[in-house]
């Protein structure tokens, strides 16, 4: 029935009559019936359309699944017929070896590519022979077992393990810093690739040794066993968060972590010491004493291939009597003929242990409870007459028992010494004719310039290129540490260091030091330029008066005049100094924006951090100026 038009009511008379009303009611009932029929037809059509759409969608989804399966099959087929599948295994093996030279942890990635590569990687023990592991006490020590087992039985092992076991983070005061450089700056002290992260342990007097090179490590707490580059420092470390699985209840996870942390060291070192005869390089670093710390005492036995041995802790790890290699008796018969590098930090050792003989590189930081007399320290040094680098830090030293004999270390190029003031006497007994880098961070009670001048004179004025004086020990103004720089009254000893290229000082008189480096005149009492080849100057925690900024500007203007004006450097005694290329001024003066711009125009790299107004008041975090 066709619907009536909207004007159908106009057919009826006005006003309505009884007859017209009855007829209108009958027509209204017919219209309602027509509307219901139309609604039913619409609903039926919509249901049919929905069913058709659903059927079409199901068909489309089925076709998409078939397409995905077909594409997967095609990908597998393409992989099967790809040229790499026909690559001879000998050539693929060589590619793996080439990759291994650059990325020691590549075996884990290669073994996860496909079955063929996994079988090949597992059949190549050499690419598993370099262990680079960042782990925690809560992590499974079976990772070490897997690594060792896959390295075979004959391949020499190169082991580096960093155990993060600290669980507290003290408050760190960050000074307000201004940085301006055209190249990447070198952060103070030892860092990791996350150089902007705050250190999470209380800083100690830094060990006077350069940082190790960047090394790739595997962090099994990161997604997909991520290979990360990590420069492991010898003293302070960055936190590495190992996530806890969300699949277990918290209580079960806590109990498992507790059990694992109690026994991690014993399990790990059981697997490691079983292969001690294959050790070629062993480096174990941890940030604090852990529950199974005593497992280190099991590191004893023959290591005929061992060339480098290091066990370092970031803070003192007190221990009782141990029988491990560094604590072995002088009469012990351990076979370690190839050992050339030894680093021990805050772990026990005996001065008479045979492990200290015939070394090329020695780095020691003793426990505060381990007090050695000066003659025993000298004896320990003389056991390795061919030393090329030596780093000593002794916070507690006893006076001499036997007289100190003059000692010449003809091959020593890098010498770093820090700690107790009595070590000054030890320096006075040494002659270092080949010295190139000298670092002194002693707790001096007297002037240190005589010690340096006498050492240079006894060593026949070697071409020293790097000198550091108390640069790493002035960061704690509230401490009782006597920085050697604060005792320096005159800088005349620098006259004999014409080859010096890098100079780092801390705790000195700021104006007096800068005046000595300016043009020689009556004010500084110099007859020639001091350190004419100086290219890098770093100053930290120096005492400044009102004219500190002006003295800094005068020194830079004398050594680095504005090249755009054509003003040359003034020669003195026929010598023209080299232009400074890098300047660091930490916690000394507040130069201001205008002085920073002026310094940038004359020096390639400028790093300035302002001194704290109050060591208790929080300060803004480090920030960097834009290039001007």
* Pair (341, 456) in one structural domain: no
Task: Band the pLDDT of 18: cuts 50, 70, 90.
Answer: confident
Domain stops at, among 72, 96, 127? 127
Share of the chain above pLDDT 70, in %: 77
Residue 48 forms part of a structural domain: yes
Question: Comparing C-alpha atoms, which of 400, 409, 404 is closest to residue 371?
Answer: 400
**How far apart (Å, rounded) are the C-alpha atoms in residues 530 and 559?**
11
Same domain, 18 and 156: no
For residues 393 and 420, the answer to whether their CB atoms sit within 8 Å is no
Q: Is residue 284 part of a domain?
A: yes
Q: Which residues contact 17 (CB under 8 A, 6 or more apart)?
A: none
pLDDT higher at 526 or 625: 526
* pLDDT for residue 177: 43
Dump pLDDT digits (tens) for 390-435. 999 998 999 999 999 999 999 999 999 999 889 999 999 999 999 9
> How far apart are the C-alpha atoms of 587 and 622, rounded to whole Å?
13
- Answer yes or no: is 389 within a domain: no
Task: Please tell me the distance from the alpha carbon of residue 391 to that of residue 70, in angstroms, as a whole number.
Answer: 65
How much is the mean pLDDT over the chain? 79
Please report whether residue 428 resides in a domain: no
- Whether 40 and 53 map to the same domain: the answer is yes
Q: Is 349 within a domain? A: yes
The Cα 551–Cα 525 span in angstroms is 16
Statement to judge: residues 201 and 223 lie in one domain: yes
Our measurement of the distance from residue 438's CA atom to the centroid of its chain's CA atoms, rounded to an integer in Å, reads 24
Q: The tokens 């009469």 sit on which residue?
A: 331
Q: What is the 3-state secondary structure (H, E, C) of 238-276?
A: CCCCCCCCCCCCHHHHHHHHHHHHHHHHHHHHHHHHHCH
pLDDT (tens digit per residue) in 250-305: 455 555 556 656 788 899 999 999 999 999 999 999 988 888 888 898 899 999 99
User: Both 56 and 122 in a single domain?
Assistant: no
**Could you tell me if residue 384 is inside a domain?**
no
Domain count, the chain: 4
Structure tokens at 351: 């001065």
- In this prediction, residues 218-227 reach a mean pLDDT of 45
Q: Are residues 220 and 267 in the same domain?
A: yes
Kindly report the CA angle at 442 between 510 and 539, in degrees rounded to 5?
A: 25
Do 162 and 107 lie in one domain? The reply is no
Higher-confidence position of 562 and 474: 562
Position 171 in a domain: no
H-helix or E-strand containing 416? strand 414-419
What residues make up the domain containing 503?
436-628
- Look up residue 198 and give its two tokens: 């705050």
Shared domain for 349 and 466, answered yes or no, is no
Sequence-ordered alpha helix ranges (H) in 275-323: none
Check: pTM over 0.85? Answer yes or no.
Answer: no
More confident residue, 23 or 433: 433
Whether residues 238 and 254 share a domain: the answer is yes
Distance CA 136, CA 139 (A): 5
Query: At 583, which CATH number?
Result: 3.80.10
**Pick from 490, 486, 573, 484: which is nearest to 528 by CA?**
573
Q: What is the 3-state secondary structure (H, E, C) of 437-478?
A: EEEEEECCCCCCHHHHHHHHHHCCCCCCCEEEECCCCCCCCC
Q: Say whether 551 sits in a helix, a strand or coil.
A: helix
8 Å CB contact between 165 and 288 = yes
b/e for 5-37, b at 16 or more Cβ within 10 A?
Answer: eeeeeeeeeeeeeeeeeeeeeeeeeeeeeeeee
E strand or H helix at 77, and its extent?
helix 18-81
Question: Residue 303, preceding bond cis, omega within 30 degrees?
Answer: no
> Would you give the distance in Å from CA 210 to the centre of its chain?
12
Contact 297, 326 (CB under 8 A): no
Co-location of 106 and 21 in the same domain: no
* Alpha carbon distance 451, 289 (integer Å): 37
Asked if residue 146 and residue 23 are part of one domain, the reply reads no
Tell me if 487 sits within 8 A of 556, measured CB to CB: no
318 and 198 within one domain: yes
The domain boundary, picked from 345, 370, 395, lies at 370
Using N-to-C axis directions, what is the helix angle for 548-559 and 593-600, rounded to 10°? 10
Residue 184 lies in a domain: no
């Amino acid at each position: 029935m066709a619907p009536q038009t909207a004007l159908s009511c106009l057919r009826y008379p006005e006003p309505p009559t009884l007859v017209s009303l009855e007829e209108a009611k009958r027509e209204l009932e017919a219209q309602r019936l027509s509307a219901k029929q139309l609604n039913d037809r619409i609903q039926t059509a919509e249901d049919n359309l929905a069913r058709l759409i659903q059927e079409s969608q199901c068909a489309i989804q089925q076709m998409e699944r078939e397409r995905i399966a077909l594409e997967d099959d095609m990908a597998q087929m393409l992989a099967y017929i790809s040229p790499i599948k026909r690559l001879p295994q000998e050539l693929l093996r060589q590619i793996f070896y080439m990759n291994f030279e650059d990325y020691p942890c590549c075996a884990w990635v290669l073994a996860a590519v496909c079955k063929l590569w996994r079988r090949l990687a597992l059949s190549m023990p050499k690419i598993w022979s370099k262990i680079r592991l960042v782990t925690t006490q809560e992590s499974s020590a079976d990772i070490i077992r897997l690594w060792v087992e896959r390295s075979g039985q004959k391949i020499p092992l190169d082991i580096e393990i960093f155990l993060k076991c600290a669980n507290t983070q003290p408050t760190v005061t960050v000074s307000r810093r201004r940085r301006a450089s055209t190249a990447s700056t070198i952060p103070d002290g030892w860092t990791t690739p996350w150089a902007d992260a705050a250190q999470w342990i209380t800083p100690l007097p830094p060990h006077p040794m350069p940082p190790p090179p960047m090394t790739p490590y595997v962090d099994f707490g990161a997604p997909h066993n991520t290979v990360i580059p990590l420069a492991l420092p010898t003293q302070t470390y960055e936190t590495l968060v190992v996530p806890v699985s969300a699949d277990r209840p918290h209580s079960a996870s806590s109990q498992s972590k507790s059990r694992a942390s109690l026994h991690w060291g014993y399990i790990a070192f059981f697997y490691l010491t079983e292969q001690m005869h294959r050790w070629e390089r062993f480096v174990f670093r941890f940030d604090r004493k852990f529950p199974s710390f005593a497992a280190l005492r099991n590191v004893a036995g023959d290591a005929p291939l061992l060339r480098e041995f290091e066990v370092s802790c970031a803070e003192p790890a007190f221990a009782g009597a141990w029988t491990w290699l560094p604590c072995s008796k002088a009469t012990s018969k351990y076979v370690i003929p190839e050992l050339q590098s030894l680093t021990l930090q805050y772990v026990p050792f005996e001065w008479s242990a045979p492990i200290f003989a015939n070394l090329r590189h020695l780095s020691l930081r003793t426990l505060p409870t381990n007090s050695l007399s000066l003659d025993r320290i000298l004896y320990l040094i003389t056991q390795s007459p061919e030393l090329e680098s030596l780093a000593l830090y002794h916070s507690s030293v006893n006076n001499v028992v036997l007289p100190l004999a003059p000692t010449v270390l003809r091959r020593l190029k890098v010498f770093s010494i820090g700690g107790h003031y009595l070590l000054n006497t030890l320096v006075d007994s040494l002659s270092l004719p080949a010295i190139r880098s000298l670092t002194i961070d002693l707790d001096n009670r007297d002037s240190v310039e005589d010690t340096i001048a006498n050492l240079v004179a006894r060593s026949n004025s070697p071409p020293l290129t790097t000198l550091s004086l108390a640069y790493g020990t002035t960061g704690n103004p509230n401490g009782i540490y006597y920085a050697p720089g604060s005792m320096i009254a005159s800088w005349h000893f620098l006259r004999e260091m014409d080859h010096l290229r890098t100079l780092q000082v801390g705790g000195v008189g700021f104006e007096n030091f800068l005046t000595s480096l300016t043009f020689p005149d009556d004010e500084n009492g110099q007859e020639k330029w001091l350190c004419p080849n100086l290219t890098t100057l770093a100053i930290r925690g120096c005492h400044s008066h009102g004219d500190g900024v002006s003295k800094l500007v005068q020194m830079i203007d004398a050594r680095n005049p504005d090249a755009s004006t054509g003003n040359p450097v003034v020669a003195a005694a026929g010598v023209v100094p080299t232009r400074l290329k890098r300047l660091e001024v930490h916690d000394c003066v507040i130069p201001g924006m205008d002085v920073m711009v002026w310094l940038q125009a004359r020096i390639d790299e400028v790093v300035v951090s302002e001194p704290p107004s109050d060591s208790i008041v929080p300060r803004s975090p480090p920030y960097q100026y834009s290039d001007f």
